[in-house]
Amino acid sequence: ESANEFRFQKDSLLQRLEDTEARNQTLEAQLSDLEQRLESIQLERETYRKNLRSLLELLDGKIFELTELRDTLVKLIEAS
């Protein structure tokens, strides 16, 4: 093949390489963005779960206190 033909192929390859590298950068940016969103979702979920656990402890407390109140009512009924 002639030197001209090789030069033409080289330029064409160079163009495709640049396009592919540009696409690569876009993909890497998207990936990094998604990974950050996932990480932030995990953190939110962890906070959420912590809040639900606090709620659960409060609920346990209320159930315990209602049970004490119930026992007081039993004593009142039995004493009368």
Residues that bind a copy of itself (CB under 8 A): 1-3, 6-7, 9-10, 13-14, 16-17, 20-21, 23-24, 27-28, 30-31, 34-35, 37-38, 41, 44-45, 48-49, 51-53, 55-56, 58-60, 62-63, 65-67, 69-70, 72-74, 76-77, 80
Least separation, in Å, of the C-beta of 75 and a copy of itself? 9
- Please tell me whether residue 80 adopts helix, strand or coil conformation: coil
How far, in Å, are 14, 15, 28 from residue 19 at the CA level? 9, 6, 14
The terminus-to-terminus CA distance of the chain in angstroms comes to 114
* Closest distance to a copy of itself from the beta carbon of 45 (Å): 7
